[in-house]
Structure 1
Amino acid sequence: MNNKLVLIDGNSIAYRAFFALPLLNNDKGIHTNAIYGFTMMLMRILEEEKPSHILVAFDAGKTTFRHKTFSEYKGGRQKTPPELSEQFPFIRDLLKAYGISQYELENYEADDIIGTLSLQAEKEGFMVKIISGDKDLTQLSSEQTTVSITKKGITETEEYSPLHIQEKYGLTPDQIIDMKGLMGDSSDNIPGVPGVGEKTAIKLLKEFTTLEQVLASIDQISGKKLKEKLEEFKDQALMSKVLATITREAPVQIKLEEIGYEGYQTEHVKGIFKELGFNSLLDKLDPDHNLVEDHQPLDNIHFEQIKEVTADIFTDENIFYIEILEDNYHYADIIGFSIVNEKGSFFLSTEIAVKSDVFKVWAEDESKKKIVYDAKRSEVALRHHGIHLKGVTFDLLLASYIVNPAEAIDDVAEIGKRYGFERLQSDEAFYGKGAKRKIPEETELADHLVRKSVAIDFLKEKLENELKENQQLELFYELEMPLSFILADMESYGIKVDLDTLKRMGADLTGRLKDIEAKIYELANETFNINSPKQLGVILYEKMGLPVLKKTKTGYSTSADVLEKLENDHEIIKQILHFRQLGKLQSTYIEGLLKMVNPKTGKVHTRFNQALTQTGRLSSTDPNLQNIPIRLEEGRKIREAFVPSEEGWVIFAADYSQIELRVLAHIASDEKLIEAFQEDQDIHTKTAMEVFHVGETEVTSQMRRHAKAVNFGIVYGISDYGLSQSLAITRKEAGKFIDRYLISYPGVKNYMEDIVVEAKQKGYVSTLLQRRRYLPEITSRNFNLRSFAERTAMNTPIQGSAADIIKKAMIDMAERLKKEELKTRLLLQVHDELIFEAPEDEIEILKKIVPEVMEHAVGLKVPLKVDYAYGPTWFDAK
């Protein structure tokens, strides 16, 4: 059997994955985009290459033997973002799970490990495949070694064999280092010869073969300026070649026989995929991973399939499970019910149950207790049949979520597994997924549903005990449970959409896009595909001569962040950015919303996810009404399409002003912050005055903007990297802003230090209403994991308390509307804002009671402030 060695440049692939994929988080709040991209690449390599030997090489540190030659080697590189650093330990754990060797060597780079091992492998007759995102390694290409360089993200690669290098550059692999000596490499801060680019370097090497021969033949080279440069920078060129040369004699201790690969243990890999929340990869790895082992005896389940509903199957307390299969936009129909109580276990088909007056009376009887899984979803589904669910005393989904919000909850089986209740199939395993998804015949369905009810009965006591131990009974029974039925009202009722307005906006946007397109063509003096980065790059950088700020592996970068830096260089840039923004509005928000309007109601019925985020915030899907891009005027105007559902009514919106900063002032007990809010000062101006040491009249708009970014950044545990990205400043400047802020507000600084200590002692942090977030990594020996947990410990109590406050306000508001006997309806919750529709004659009372209720939802050391507005559309209620 032929031996095949795969060598992976670990740091390079991780960096590529991090910057190629959006900044993803798993349910524990850990960033996972680099890990996910690395995993995708690894799975593809193992499948396609089938290596007999494999190793991932990592850089050991910042300093290498090359720094003795040139102290500024790699000097221009920025510090690794903490959002990436925290992912490296998980990448290493991933490799361990796969049984893949990893190696690093003090004073050497991963390239040198790969160069040394590939040469050894070639001598022993191996075929070698090198995987990297760095073209420097192409110098290692040979008849036995192919170098794969990633491009377009992480999974697509370009294969560099000696033949490919000859076709692409007209050079041999050995000449790659001569080319680097001449042209340098900005990414590694290798200087080369100033003014010599790739084309010139290749031309010289085709004529003179090596750098040394080029320098020995300067007299024969045409071009006075080029000659002068080569003469002046001879020594620099030779040094650059040395820096670019990968050593193939590094003192690598690991032997080829030690990195043999015999495949991985599926259970090991499944474990880390579950930890990271890589459910789609888990499905690829093991389609049957949800099938559970027979650890708990549930074989003797006896149930009755009810043919006619009679009152004698119900008792005063029932485990009541409703099975719903969902479509993309709203709850699809119920496919069955199971009821378990002291009289037995029962299955009711949808057809039999919803047509029964006996069932309806029982479902709406407040005195008949019902223990359920996901009360909100159950209530919304029953309303489609004219039934209201009352008497719910326990919701397994919400209880599980409160006990540990980090745990993903897919179904009853997922919760059961945590408590040893494993003899229950997951829904995915039972129904199948995608095209294979189907509803089994009734007896099989009945068995599955009854098992779920038995599981709920088993789990209720365990979860209730945990809620009690955690002092979370009040959070569960007085906040989340009542809120679930308010959200059900909001989902069922929906919000009216004026289709004509939306279509008119779409037509207007289409017209504006055509006008902007024509303007762009006029400025470019030719037509081209504006959405093609390649064509756009040629127009901007070659034809129009705009400065090239960044290049990608496929050409010039035309990403938004690059173009924004060129906005003042030429009018065409502003037009292109506007074209893109309007194009996204058209496709995502105009066309997307039109598809989601329910044809029966003329409304969108967004789904509020109550048991998803670790901070306790609600999120919105199908459609996501919390993400309409309101910073853009055209985006804000999309809200014009959201209107009251009745004539003579208006939209009334009320939002908390800077609620998270007010919560921070309360929790941190910072005197300056408290004073600013009590005196109703502009907090961003106040912070600018403190940070920049200037008087109020000296605060510029830029100072205030920077202060605002730091104010809100502190709340979210922002890093110097994150702040530098949002303000387009250096990380050093961003770090100074954060340091100045903490000096200005010592109470905040003390809070941040104290909460970390508390988190290490307890293992979790809590909101004002006792919502917990567990932080197992807070005591990790790994610096990156620990740092991430510390930032999370600082910001979770603030974000989570703000989320709890607005939830409490929603409950109090529902009670007040009922008490005042008002017709006003709560339609939406968007971040810190509540949106109502109301008759015009109720506006005056709303102006009084809405701020009153919201501002007194909880008591803080600073006043809560609510702003409100109203008008004929959501847009006008600003």
Structure 2
Amino acid sequence: MKNSDADRAKLLAVKSAMETGVTGRHPSGAGKRFSKAEALRIYEDLREKMRTDTLREMVENTPKNYFLINSEKLLARLNERLRNETEVAVDTETTGVDVYTDVIVGISLTLPSVSIPPLAETGMHVYIPVMHDEGEQLSREYVLDELRWFLYDEGIGKILHNAIFDIAMFRRHGYDLRGVKWDTMTAMHLLNENEPSFRLKDLAPKYLGVESDTFAELFGKTPFNEIPLDIALAYAAKDTDLTWRLYQFQRKHFASLPTVLEYYETVEVPLLYVIVDLEANGYILDLDFAKEYGEQLRKRADELHVKLLAELSPYHEGDGELNLNSPPQMKVALSKSIGRELPNMDAKKTLKPLAEKYEVIKLLLEYRKITKLSGTYIDALPTKQNPTTKRWHSRFNPMGTVTGRFSSGKDEDAEDSNQFNVQNQPYEARKMFMAPDGKVLVSADFKAQEIRCTAYLSGEPVLIEAFEKGIDPYANMASMYYKRPYHEVNKLPNGEDTPERTAMKVVWLATLYGMSDYSLAEMLGLKKAEATAFKEELFSGMPKLSAWLKANEEHVAKYGFVWADKQQRKRRLPDGKLKRKNIPYGKWNDPKYDEWRKHNAKINRAMRQGTNARVQGSSAIQTKVTMIKAHEECKKREGWALWGTIHDELVFEIPEDFTREDIATIERIMTQSYRWGTVANGTDIAIMKRWGKGVTPDEWFRQKEGGA
């Protein structure tokens, strides 16, 4: 069996240690042949020894300006010094990553302007233990009360890394951390969204030249309250020390990006508090509905299992029953079933483009999806209820994608989490989310957000005209392309799309999401040349849009990035600047040029992503600005809360005795908070007791007033 990268690294470490005499055979291996299992046991012993040595060195090399604050006198002196600071780096050490159940065991602060003779270096880095198992320390209640003035003083800018977590942890104990000025984690997303990791311990070596071990590397699964205070000081004070240094590094680089800096300080930083409130509000779930839904999924999975076996078993080459979860077996059987060789079983790249053409692939994708979901709703979901709040909570990451879109799920800085992904709930499952007693959920979407954004950015009259007239842009394009009346190509009597409107959406989405013409051809059921001609003819009727699309590609090729609206954030696509490899004529399929083809494919992908990045990035800005305005309105009103942000939808939780004026306020927030120039925004609003099961405001009030 081939070794994983992790195992290979462990085996090499053991080999090196044995060759240099650092370690030898494991006692359990005496008289036996040396095996991988023994090598991995040696590695665990070796890692523990290395960890012990590292911790000892940390304590021995603790900087002279790292101080443990563990008495009333020292805390009082610290408070005096804090009053002279305008900016302070802050961090919390906790028993875990659950901001509703875990607790603070210590607080780290960096006071950058303190001068401590005879030390030449300016700055004081402190750790205040409050709940370690051993060692002299003050109580958490006493420390937080003494620091209350500092925590609430908005005149002292707080600098953090992963601020959402720390703000929530202080709230866990009844205190607000106000005046957050900078979060080095979110700021780094704006300086380089392509970073493989945004953890402080990974950024410090790269940008500060300071090696820094992660918590897991140093302490394994030992909770921080069990860490001795001398080690805790060396580790925790370093966190704010590094955070402050990273902040200085980032400020220097933001100086050359004034529009990005303004956006960061006026949108991304205020948004941190919005997210903390959003996450804390949580959800009420109907577990009986979830179980019933899970059983329905399981029943459907069984039906699909039978159908797929009946269809694919004749093409199975192995012994025994075909395993639908085995990619090697399925690749062979599925390829023979559809009469074409599949390169792999990748759902997104290979199977989804073929799903409309081949029913068996469509069934397989459904089977994969619901087998995964059925266990979620029957087995996993009940365990996600928070034992403290009795609600379900999701982590919302404001930098969840490289374009700045939100993602939902666990904290990107945490290895484990009890939270779940609210954005990834199937439409049918949404009904298990209930409004609290006496309240309703009000869903408001950004109607046609991305195509409105494109109309604004490109200035294309065909798109702008559609929104000015209040007509559907896809049907408008279909009418123009097919030269047929608008009403004939818009919707069928049953409300479904006409084939013409569907084709427009496919071409549009393929262009917007950077799909190749090969993928477009698969989706349209055409040959590649036909799909290319179809797209070119369509866009030839929209010259401004065509010029804008071309300009985006040219910008990527020349500069390796594109701007979102008003140059508020960049999307870096460095592969676009690579020099293309010239594959000789007739050699396209020659294996000798595989690497060249891959190289050129990277360039093509970057070029196609430029448009998507501009639209997605600009739409993300609109969503975030609107969320801030929505949050401000909710704070003014009793019982109002922002319940969720799901793709292009914001959901409010409000008292059920709301008025038409309240709905008008929500509509105004959605359409007026961030404008696309002269292109009007739109929103569709639905009111519901269960998410996904709503009625229009007019229908709600008719029912309430007893009208027909």
Corresponding position of 1:150: none
CA distance in 1, matches of 2:342, 2:516: 26
Corresponding position of 1:872: 689
CA contact (8 A) 1:626 1:831 kept: yes
Equivalent residue for 1:459, pick from 212, 228, 246 = 246
Whether 1:702 and 2:499 are equivalent positions in the alignment is: yes
Equivalent residue for 1:407, pick from 186, 191, 195 = 195
Greater relative CO (CA pairs within 8 A, separation 6+): 2
Corresponding position of 1:365: 153
State the one-letter code of the partner of 1:774.
Answer: R
CA contact (8 A) 2:354 2:522 kept: no
| 1:517-546 deviations in Å (ceiling 9; x for gaps) | 7899999999x97964799x99x999xxx9
Deviation at 1:768, TM superposition (A): 1.2
Equivalence map 1:778-789=2 (5 Å): 778-782=576-580, 783-789=600-606
Whether 1:639 and 2:430 are equivalent positions in the alignment is: yes
CA distance in 2, matches of 1:859, 1:774: 25
Corresponding position of 1:775: 573
Corresponding position of 1:599: 387
CA distance in 1, matches of 2:402, 2:229: 37
Corresponding position of 2:129: 349
Deviation at 1:370, TM superposition (A): 2.0
Deviation at 1:864, TM superposition (A): 0.9
Whether 1:853 and 2:669 are equivalent positions in the alignment is: yes
Deviation at 1:640, TM superposition (A): 1.1
Corresponding position of 1:744: 541
CA distance in 2, matches of 1:377, 1:673: 42
Deviation at 1:547, TM superposition (A): 5.8
Deviation at 1:463, TM superposition (A): 1.7
CA distance in 2, matches of 1:589, 1:604: 13
Equivalent residue for 1:446, pick from 222, 233, 257 = 233
Equivalence map 1:271-286=2 (5 Å): none
Segments of 5+ residues of structure 1 without an aligned counterpart are 1-36, 48-282, 630-635
CA contact (8 A) 1:324 1:331 kept: no
Deviation at 1:617, TM superposition (A): 0.7
Deviation at 1:418, TM superposition (A): 4.1
CA contact (8 A) 2:445 2:684 kept: yes
CA distance in 1, matches of 2:506, 2:89: 50
| 1:239-260 deviations in Å (ceiling 9; x for gaps) | xxxxxxxxxxxxxxxxxxxxxx
Q: Which piece of structure 1 moves more, 694-703 or 394-403?
A: 694-703
CA distance in 1, matches of 2:642, 2:574: 38
Root-mean-square deviation (CA, aligned residues, Å) is 4.4
Deviation at 1:580, TM superposition (A): 5.5
1:443–1:525: structure 2 CA closer, same or farther, 3 Å change rule? closer
CA distance in 1, matches of 2:281, 2:242: 32
| 1:469-489 deviations in Å (ceiling 9; x for gaps) | 202222111100000110011
CA distance in 1, matches of 2:101, 2:499: 48
1:502–1:371: structure 2 CA closer, same or farther, 3 Å change rule? same
CA contact (8 A) 1:691 1:737 kept: no
CA contact (8 A) 2:95 2:224 kept: no
1:692–1:865: structure 2 CA closer, same or farther, 3 Å change rule? same
Whether 1:715 and 2:521 are equivalent positions in the alignment is: no
- 3-state SS of paired residue (1:817): helix
Deviation at 1:322, TM superposition (A): 2.0
- 3-state SS of paired residue (2:424): coil
State the one-letter code of the partner of 1:321.
Answer: D
Segments of 5+ residues of structure 2 without an aligned counterpart are 13-46, 115-123, 132-137, 315-319, 410-418, 490-496, 581-599, 696-708
Deviation at 1:333, TM superposition (A): 3.8
CA distance in 1, matches of 2:8, 2:528: 35
| 1:175-207 deviations in Å (ceiling 9; x for gaps) | xxxxxxxxxxxxxxxxxxxxxxxxxxxxxxxxx
State the one-letter code of the partner of 1:866.
Answer: T
Equivalent residue for 2:396, pick from 590, 595, 608 = 608
Structure 1 or 2, whichever has the larger Rg, is: 1
1:602–1:505: structure 2 CA closer, same or farther, 3 Å change rule? farther
Corresponding position of 1:799: 616
CA distance in 1, matches of 2:201, 2:6: 32
Equivalence map 1:78-93=2 (5 Å): none
Equivalence map 1:811-830=2 (5 Å): 811-819=628-636, 821-830=637-646
Equivalent residue for 1:374, pick from 134, 139, 162 = 162
Equivalent residue for 1:831, pick from 624, 629, 647 = 647
- 3-state SS of paired residue (1:303): strand
Alignment TM-score, normalising by the size of structure 1: 0.59
Whether 1:469 and 2:256 are equivalent positions in the alignment is: yes
- 3-state SS of paired residue (2:643): strand
- 3-state SS of paired residue (2:675): coil
Q: Which piece of structure 1 moves more, 321-330 or 688-697?
A: 321-330
CA contact (8 A) 1:497 1:602 kept: no
Whether 1:684 and 2:474 are equivalent positions in the alignment is: yes
CA contact (8 A) 1:824 1:839 kept: yes
Deviation at 1:766, TM superposition (A): 1.4
- Count of aligned positions: 582
1:714–1:650: structure 2 CA closer, same or farther, 3 Å change rule? same
Corresponding position of 1:303: 67
CA distance in 2, matches of 1:612, 1:512: 32
CA contact (8 A) 1:764 1:774 kept: yes
CA contact (8 A) 1:370 1:392 kept: yes
Whether 1:734 and 2:502 are equivalent positions in the alignment is: no
- 3-state SS of paired residue (1:390): coil
CA distance in 1, matches of 2:175, 2:99: 21
Equivalence map 1:500-519=2 (5 Å): 500-510=288-298
CA contact (8 A) 1:652 1:871 kept: yes
Deviation at 1:491, TM superposition (A): 1.1
Deviation at 1:511, TM superposition (A): 5.3
Deviation at 1:628, TM superposition (A): 1.9
CA distance in 2, matches of 1:793, 1:559: 25
State the one-letter code of the partner of 1:841.
Answer: D
Equivalent residue for 1:431, pick from 212, 218, 224 = 218
State the one-letter code of the partner of 1:673.
Answer: L
1:732–1:846: structure 2 CA closer, same or farther, 3 Å change rule? farther
CA distance in 1, matches of 2:611, 2:643: 32
CA distance in 2, matches of 1:845, 1:531: 58
| 1:802-853 deviations in Å (ceiling 9; x for gaps) | 000010000111122334x342110111111101111111253331011211
Equivalent residue for 2:282, pick from 479, 486, 494 = 494
Equivalent residue for 1:323, pick from 84, 93, 100 = 93
CA contact (8 A) 1:405 1:612 kept: no
CA contact (8 A) 1:374 1:398 kept: yes
Equivalence map 1:133-144=2 (5 Å): none
1:508–1:686: structure 2 CA closer, same or farther, 3 Å change rule? same
- 3-state SS of paired residue (2:423): coil
1:450–1:563: structure 2 CA closer, same or farther, 3 Å change rule? closer
State the one-letter code of the partner of 2:218.
Answer: Y
CA contact (8 A) 2:559 2:577 kept: no
CA distance in 1, matches of 2:368, 2:445: 30
CA distance in 1, matches of 2:269, 2:322: 51
CA contact (8 A) 1:654 1:868 kept: yes
